Amino acid sequence: MILAQSEGFDPLNPRIEIGQWADDLVSWFEDTFKPVLDLISDGLGGAYDGLSNALREPSVILIVLLFGLIGLLFWERFPPLRALSMSFVVVPIVLGGAAGWGVHALGEELESQFLALLIVFALIGWLVRSWAFGIFSAVAFYVVAGMDEWDRAMETLSLVLISVIIATLIGVPLGILAAKSQVVSNAIRPVLDFMQTMPAMVYLIPTLFAFGIGVVPGMISTIVFAMPPGVRLTEHGIRNVDTEVVEAGQAFGSPPLRILRQIQLPLALPTIMAGINQVIMLALSMVVLAAMVGAAGLGLEVVRGLQGLQIPRGAEAGLAVVVLAIFLDRIVAALADRAPVVRASRVRD
Amino acid sequence: MAAVRAEGLYKVFGRKADLAVQQLKQGASREEVAKLGVTPAVIDASFEVEPGEIFVVMGLSGSGKSTLIRMLNGLWHATDGHIYVDGTDIVNAHGAELRQMRKEKISMVFQHFALLPHLTVAENAAYALDIQGMPKEERFARAEEALEMVGLGGWGDRFPVQLSGGMKQRVGLARALAAGSEIMLMDEAFSALDPLIKREMQEQLLQLQSSLNKTIVFITHDLNEAMRLGDRIAVMRDGRIVQIGTAEEVLNDPANDYVAQFVADVDRTRVLTASSIMEPAQFVVNADSGPREAQYTMREKQMVAAFAVGRRGDKLHGVVHDQDVVSAVRRGDKSLEGIIDTDVGAVHQDTYLVDLFAPSAENPLPLPVIDDEKRLVGVVPRVTLLSAMASIADVVHTADSPAQDAATTGVTRGFGTEASNAGQGGDA
Ligand SMILES: Nc1ncnc2c1ncn2[C@@H]1O[C@H](COP(=O)(O)OP(=O)(O)O)[C@@H](O)[C@H]1O
Ligand SMILES: [Mg+2]
């Protein structure tokens, strides 16, 4: 078919059918990998549905678990507590869980779907960063709820979180490989450039064909678009670990994987976290595009606002995106700050 | 058996490394093979390091020292040649085999310390033991022992960022010591430290070595350091080892102009010993004889004082002064015993020149030089010491040495401290 078209090729008046070839490639791809595509589609779609439902209408179990986690953070955050015996650690988890149960009951009582999660976000903001940020988070998410964007914000958060997790799960190992092997590095660099510079709209089209309308093509495009900084910064971080320190590992007989685990990853962690932060920001920047192929959430609201030239709709959804962005950015940055290397570098007498 | 033996070792960086080695073996120069687009970093290096020895490899920056030392534990593969560690050729060893050898036999200390910044001092010191698979408690106990050895007992809870450069390197040293291996590689281990700290570390290393007896390959670009630490020194230039010998051999009998120029700069007062400048003792009388015989000898040679030396074994008893001898004769004493002054400031033959200044200044007589059996082996008259100093100073001030960048500052500063040390009787 490709041949048939190039038969009539006139070098002086060329028409190179790259668009057609891309189309052929996509259909071939679709036919060949149908089972795989279905698997991906079901997996991503299922994960998204599960998470967005859980966030919009959090069950008591989820809230209890989250509060247990907060109890643990609380414990870890305050040195006098940490100094107590390790077997004590169940106590804050159990206490946290109990508090979660109470908060959930209170939410039911007040018929407020968002209350429990809002408290979770605020507490995480406090424990991971500062009390000021905790208050900011509480107010910001309260405003989101007040704009009636809560459910959509949770849908967008689900889309972003799942995309980011997958982009990280693929991107970080790729970055490690690229740092270890010049061949891999050379091979993936142009691919990453391509993924990042190709207008994102363009690969919405093939994913649309492969996965149909809905949230899945949006997530795939988001993953593809957001992944490159994760790969790049991982590679950069690992390559920039002081060679002498890596040599020290080798000189004392440590095998390569152990050097990766004990030396390279811990030392590269702040850089890798910076990469993940960028992945999150890029993923958030994709929500509007994802909405164009059928993903729900804040993006869709922006698109509708655009189509209907409705300033209030667009503004409210846009502001909610900003709240998510600030929250995720500060949390990840604070986590990066708690990496062992960073902490150790701050120790003073 | 040598602890480490290198035989015809080559390391050439670049694609056509093997071809380059062939050409080098056929006598091509470094510059000629460089046309192949390769960098010959180590060329035909052969040497043996004996157990318990500090073997120093010295050369300017870029002469191939780091490359050489990294081949000894297989961090970098040799392009050609053989390396025997405890008799086993490791050049073709791979992966697990090499790692086993590093765990058991060779540890390393790095120029910039190479500590793991996210681990505590104790965890760093225990790192090698962790890799060896030692249980936690045991390895922390061993690490603490090693930290105590280097004077950092009780610092285990700190993080590297809290330590000064010298202390960091002590941790690096403790990590290598804790590993328990017989061979230690030290690549410019003290080069990143301030001169005073560096001196301290050198002393400490020597002190540790006197009890531990490790086999140490020590890399440096600092000639003074090489002279101070090395039982033997290999001088490297442009990838080749141009001379191997003791400090004195390298100083007094440089293999070629390059070495001669290099060593022109060294602080000889810290290398040369009393035995290398002493002169035969002429003013000697027999301690077992009577005052009359002594008086006769002294009058004959117009001495004002003489060293009293026992007949059997030449043992130095002390010094006798002319007026005491005359009085003893007048009194009719039968032996010299009553008039021998034992406070003569005798110095051992291995005393460094720098440590001769104080005794020499205090003593009007030439300094008697003795050996382990207290036998008088020679004397150092003050004039000899001063003229030795003068000739060294001449060399230092006129030399346009290739070691300028590396050693000059050390030497000039060295002289300053030498002068002040002299008054305090040195610090070694
Ligand atoms: N990985 C490498 N690739 C290419 N050339 C190298 C490499 N490492 C060192 N060299 C070259 O080998 C020579 C010796 O370097 P090195 O062993 O580091 O010297 P030194 O430690 O004596 O300063 C230098 O010319 C250096 O540029
Ligand atoms: Mg070097």
Written as one string, the DSSP assignment of A175-221 is HHHHHH-HHHHHHHHHHHHHHHHS-HHHHHHHHHHHH-SSHHHHHHH
pLDDT category at B399 given cuts 50, 70, 90 is very low
Residue A118 three-state SS: helix
Pocket flag, ligand 1, residue B64 (CB < 6 Å)? yes
Show residues of chain A in contact with B112, CB under 8 Å.
Answer: 242, 244
Q: Do B131 and A247 touch (CB under 8 A)?
A: no
Task: Give the model's pLDDT for residue A82.
Answer: 66
Task: State the distance from the centre of ligand 2 to the C-alpha of B61, rounded, in angstroms.
Answer: 6
Please compute the mean of the pLDDT values over residues A325-340 and round it to a whole number: 91
Please compute the mean of the pLDDT values over residues A290-300 and round it to a whole number: 84
Task: Tell me the C-alpha distance between B274 and B349, whole Å.
Answer: 5
pLDDT category at A176 given cuts 50, 70, 90 is very high
Nearest neighbour of B117 by CB, restricted to A244, A258, A344: A344
Task: Tell me the C-alpha distance between B367 and B381, whole Å.
Answer: 6
- Contact predicate B329/B304, CB 8 Å: no
Task: State the distance from the centre of ligand 2 to the C-alpha of B254, rounded, in angstroms.
Answer: 23
pLDDT tens for each residue of B277-322: 888 888 888 888 888 888 888 888 888 888 888 877 678 888 888 8
Residues whose CB is less than 8 angstroms from the CB of residue B295 and which lie 6 or more positions away in sequence, other chains included: B325, B326, B329
Position A36 pLDDT exceeds 90: no
- Contact predicate B195/B201, CB 8 Å: no
A186 interfacial to chain B (CB closer than 8 Å):
no
HEC readout, A290-311: HHHCCCCCHHHHHHHHHHCCCH
**Is the CA virtual torsion A175, A178, A179, A180 positive or negative?**
positive
Q: Residue B48 pairs with which residues in a beta bridge? A: B5
A295: tokens are 């993903």
Q: Do A251 and B119 touch (CB under 8 A)?
A: no
Residue A89, class by beta-carbon neighbours within 10 Å (0-12 exposed, 13-18 middle, 19+ buried)? Answer: middle
Please compute the mean of the pLDDT values over residues A7-36 and round it to a whole number: 80
ipTM: 0.81
Distances (CA, A) of A112 to A108, A120, A146, A319, B342: 6, 14, 12, 22, 102
pLDDT tens for each residue of A108-167: 787 777 888 898 899 999 988 889 999 999 999 999 988 888 999 999 999 999 999 999
Please compute the mean of the pLDDT values over residues A189-207 and round it to a whole number: 81
- Contact predicate A250/A259, CB 8 Å: yes
Q: If you measure CA to CA, which chain B residue comes closest to A349?
A: B162
Q: How far is CA A277 from the centre of its chain?
A: 8
pLDDT tens for each residue of B154-172: 899 999 999 998 999 999 9
Residues whose CB is less than 8 angstroms from the CB of residue B166 and which lie 6 or more positions away in sequence, other chains included: B193, B194, B197, B200, B201
Position B346 pLDDT exceeds 70: yes
DSSP letter assigned to residue B60: -
3-state helix, strand, coil in chain B (%, to 5): 45, 20, 35
Nearest neighbour of A251 by CB, restricted to B73, B116, B118: B73
pLDDT category at B392 given cuts 50, 70, 90 is low
B387: tokens are 């003229």
Q: If you measure CA to CA, which chain A residue comes closest to B76?
A: A247
Q: Do B111 and A255 touch (CB under 8 A)?
A: no
Position B425 pLDDT exceeds 50: no
A240 interfacial to chain B (CB closer than 8 Å):
no
Q: Residue B273 pairs with which residues in a beta bridge? A: B352
Q: Whose CA is nearest to atom 12 of ligand 1?
A: B41
Q: How many CB atoms lie within 10 A of CB A329?
A: 15
pLDDT category at B227 given cuts 50, 70, 90 is confident
pLDDT category at A312 given cuts 50, 70, 90 is confident
Task: Give the model's pLDDT for residue A234.
Answer: 96
B400: tokens are 């346009």
Nearest neighbour of A252 by CB, restricted to B102, B158, B159: B102
A348 interfacial to chain B (CB closer than 8 Å):
yes
Task: State the distance from the centre of ligand 2 to the C-alpha of B221, rounded, in angstroms.
Answer: 8
Task: Tell me the C-alpha distance between A139 and B260, whole Å.
Answer: 78
Task: State the distance from the centre of ligand 1 to the C-alpha of B65, rounded, in angstroms.
Answer: 8
pLDDT tens for each residue of B57-104: 999 889 999 999 999 999 999 999 999 998 889 998 888 999 999 999
Task: Give the model's pLDDT for residue B401.
Answer: 41
Task: Tell me the C-alpha distance between A247 and A116, whole Å.
Answer: 50
DSSP E strands: which ranges in B121-182? Answer: none
Q: If you measure CA to CA, which chain A residue comes closest to B95?
A: A255
Instruction: Tokens 């610090």: give the residue.
Output: B427
B145: tokens are 């022992």
- Alpha-helical (H) ranges within chain A are 2-7, 18-32, 34-56, 60-77, 79-82, 90-110, 115-128, 131-146, 150-180, 182-197, 200-211, 215-239, 243-251, 256-259, 265-285, 287-292, 298-307, 311-337, 340-346
Task: Give the model's pLDDT for residue B299.
Answer: 85
Residue A10 three-state SS: coil
- Say which CATH superfamily domain B275-382 falls into: CBS-domain (3.10.580.10)
HEC readout, B363-380: CCCCEEEECCCCEEEEEE
Task: Tell me the C-alpha distance between B288 and B202, whole Å.
Answer: 45
Task: Tell me the C-alpha distance between A230 and A227, whole Å.
Answer: 5
pLDDT category at B231 given cuts 50, 70, 90 is very high
Domains in chain A, start-ordered, CATH in brackets? 22-56+148-349 (1.10.3720.10), 58-146 (no CATH)
Position B428 pLDDT exceeds 70: no
Least distant ligand from the CA of B241:
1
Q: Do A348 and B114 touch (CB under 8 A)?
A: no
Position A205 pLDDT exceeds 80: no
Mean residue pLDDT across chain B: 84
Task: Tell me the C-alpha distance between B261 and B250, whole Å.
Answer: 11
Q: If you measure CA to CA, which chain A residue comes closest to B184?
A: A251
Position B417 pLDDT exceeds 90: no
**Is the CA virtual torsion A108, A109, A112, A117 positive or negative?**
negative
Best B118, B123, B132, B157 member to test A by mutation, with max A CBs in 10 Å, is B118
Q: If you measure CA to CA, which chain B residue comes closest to A244?
A: B114
Q: Are strands B376-380 and B54-59 parallel, antiparallel or unpaired?
A: unpaired
- Contact predicate A122/A134, CB 8 Å: yes
pLDDT category at B239 given cuts 50, 70, 90 is very high
Show residues of chain B in contact with A347, CB under 8 Å.
Answer: 158-159, 161-162
Q: Which residue has the higher pLDDT, B250 or A276?
A: A276
Position B364 pLDDT exceeds 70: yes
Position A311 pLDDT exceeds 90: no
Task: Give the model's pLDDT for residue B393.
Answer: 56
> Rounded to a whole number, what is the distance in Å from the CA of B119 to chain A's nearest CA?
8
Position B13 pLDDT exceeds 50: yes
Task: Give the model's pLDDT for residue B403.
Answer: 41
Task: Spell out the long-range contacts of B227-232 with Cβ–Cβ below 8 A and sequence spacing 24 or more.
Answer: B227/B251, B227/B266, B227/B267, B227/B270, B227/B271, B228/B202, B228/B270, B228/B271, B229/B54, B229/B56, B229/B202, B229/B205, B230/B54, B230/B55, B230/B56, B230/B58, B231/B53, B231/B54, B231/B55, B232/B53, B232/B54, B232/B55, B232/B56
Position B344 pLDDT exceeds 60: yes
Q: Residue B45 pairs with which residues in a beta bridge? A: B9
Please compute the mean of the pLDDT values over residues B379-392 and round it to a whole number: 79
> Rounded to a whole number, what is the distance in Å from the CA of A334 to chain B's nearest CA?
17
Q: Are strands B367-370 and B376-380 parallel, antiparallel or unpaired?
A: antiparallel
Position B125 pLDDT exceeds 90: yes
Task: State the distance from the centre of ligand 1 to the C-alpha of B67, rounded, in angstroms.
Answer: 6
Specify the ligand 1 atom closest to the Cα of B187.
Answer: 21
* Best probe residue, ligand 1, of B9, B11, B13 (max atoms within 8 Å of C-beta): B13
pLDDT category at A92 given cuts 50, 70, 90 is confident
Give the number of residues written for chain A.
349
Q: Whose CA is nearest to atom 4 of ligand 1?
A: B13
B82 interfacial to chain A (CB closer than 8 Å):
no
Please compute the mean of the pLDDT values over residues B19-28 and round it to a whole number: 92
pLDDT category at B244 given cuts 50, 70, 90 is very high
Q: Whose CA is nearest to atom 14 of ligand 1?
A: B64
Mean residue pLDDT across chain A: 87
**Which of B236, B275, B283 is CA-nearest to residue B252?**
B275
Q: How far is CA A272 from the centre of its chain?
A: 13
Task: Give the model's pLDDT for residue B351.
Answer: 86
pLDDT category at B374 given cuts 50, 70, 90 is confident
> Which of A57-66, A235-244, B371-380, B413-422 has the highest mean predicted lDDT (pLDDT)?
A235-244
What is the amino acid identity at position B227? M
Range from A256-265, B68-77, B193-202 carrying the lowest mean pLDDT = B193-202
- Contact predicate B249/B392, CB 8 Å: no
Task: Give the model's pLDDT for residue B279.
Answer: 84
Give the number of residues written for chain B.
428
Q: Do A267 and B159 touch (CB under 8 A)?
A: no
Q: Which residue has the higher pLDDT, B138 or B335?
A: B138
Q: Residue B82 pairs with which residues in a beta bridge? A: B7
Least distant ligand from the CA of B236:
1
pLDDT tens for each residue of A213-259: 888 888 988 998 899 999 999 999 999 999 999 999 999 999 999 99
Instruction: Tokens 């936690």: give the residue.
Output: B136
Cα diameter, chain B? 91
Position B378 pLDDT exceeds 90: no
Q: Which residue has the higher pLDDT, A142 or A288?
A: A142
**Which of B256, B238, B195, B329 is CA-nearest to residue B42?**
B238
Task: Give the model's pLDDT for residue A86.
Answer: 63
Phi, psi of B27 (to 5 degrees): 100, 5
Task: Give the model's pLDDT for residue A236.
Answer: 96
Please compute the mean of the pLDDT values over residues A289-307 and round it to a whole number: 84
Position B180 pLDDT exceeds 50: yes
